[in-house]
């Protein structure tokens, strides 16, 4: 018996599991990946994810901007109240009312605009406010 293999040595491999193509008739069909399609899918997925993340960041930025605006408004009204006439010591958590006098100066009062009856002594009710724990004032809607 001869040890000669009838198959040409250039057409076989010692390690068939490492070749990138089917190495015999019964092998699974191997098709090369369409790299253009693979890249296109990856790019689409990346764009969808980054768009979603950017949208979430913008929503967070809008929320932070709203919060910053509320704080700015609290500081503004607090400065206005501390510049006005206050004839009592305000208590944290209580509601007070800011009025404007005829001469343009302002006064803080414990009496609400609906409690004056016919003798409303000021030219306008500016805001109803509540003193917060940090001694800023929240405008009540």
Note if the pTM is more than 0.85: no
What are the pLDDT digits (tens) for 22-73?
Answer: 666 677 776 777 788 888 899 999 999 999 999 999 999 999 999 999 999 9
Residue 113 lies in a domain: yes
Domain residues for the domain of 103 are 36-140
Integer Cα distance of 113 and 10 in angstroms: 102
pLDDT band at 6 (very low <50, low <70, confident <90, very high): low
Distance CA 63, CA 70 (A): 11
Q: Is the pLDDT of residue 16 over 80?
A: no
For residue range 96-130, what is the model confidence (pLDDT) as tens digits? 999 999 999 999 999 999 898 888 899 999 999 99
Does a structural domain hold residue 7? no
Residue matched to tokens 């404007």? 100
Q: Specify if 26 maps to a domain.
A: no
């Amino acid at each position: 018996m001869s040890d000669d293999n009838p198959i040409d040595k250039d057409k076989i491999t010692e390690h068939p599991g490492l070749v990138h193509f089917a190495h015999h008739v019964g092998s699974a069909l191997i098709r090369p990946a369409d790299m253009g399609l693979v890249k296109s899918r990856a790019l689409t997925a990346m764009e969808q994810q980054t768009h979603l993340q950017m949208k979430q960041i913008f929503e967070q930025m809008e929320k932070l901007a709203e919060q910053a605006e509320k704080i700015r408004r609290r500081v503004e009204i607090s400065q206005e109240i501390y510049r006005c006439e206050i004839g009592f010591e305000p208590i944290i958590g209580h509601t007070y009312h800011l009025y404007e006098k005829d001469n343009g100066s302002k006064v803080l009062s414990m009496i609400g605009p609906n409690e004056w009856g016919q003798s409303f002594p000021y030219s306008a009710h500016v805001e109803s406010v509540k003193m917060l724990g940090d001694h800023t004032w929240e405008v009540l809607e």
